[in-house]
Amino acid sequence: MARDEISRDYWVVTDGEVIRMHGRSVAQRMPLADAIGAVTVQPPAGVTIRIHSRRDSENRMLTSFRKPNGVTRRLAEVFDTPSSG
């Protein structure tokens, strides 16, 4: 779990999906099998993650973190993109 630096939403990556929590509510979720995306590391700005769904072009997710964390590393593995940290 990690907290987005801009929206303050929490992000969770499980074995099967990526979930964005706003407060105590699930704001958005996407099966990892449907997710296409990229993890971009730009020191010192931080890490940006962009995700969209293979099945639903309207289902998009965007988040930023100050530094790499468990969520960024896991999604970098899923998307097969390099992740520092």
Give domain status of residue 84, yes or no.
Answer: no
- Look up the domain containing 10 and give its range: 2-79
User: Using one digit for the tens of pLDDT, what is the confidence trace for 6-64?
Assistant: 899 999 999 999 999 999 999 999 999 999 999 999 888 899 999 999 999 899 999 99
Q: Do the beta carbons of residue 36 and residue 51 sit within 8 Å?
A: yes
- The pLDDT score that the predictor gives to residue 5 is 80
Give domain status of residue 85, yes or no.
Answer: no
H helix runs in the chain, sequence order? 70-79
| CA-wise closest residue to 43 among 64, 63, 66 | 66
Give domain status of residue 66, yes or no.
Answer: yes
Give how many domains the chain has, as a whole number: 1
Q: Do the beta carbons of residue 47 and residue 67 sit within 8 Å?
A: yes
Give domain status of residue 42, yes or no.
Answer: yes
User: Using one digit for the tens of pLDDT, what is the confidence trace for 63-80?
Assistant: 999 999 999 999 999 998
- The pLDDT score that the predictor gives to residue 6 is 84
Distance between CA atoms of 36 and 7, rounded to whole angstroms? 22
Residue 16 belongs to a domain with what CATH number?
A: 2.30.29
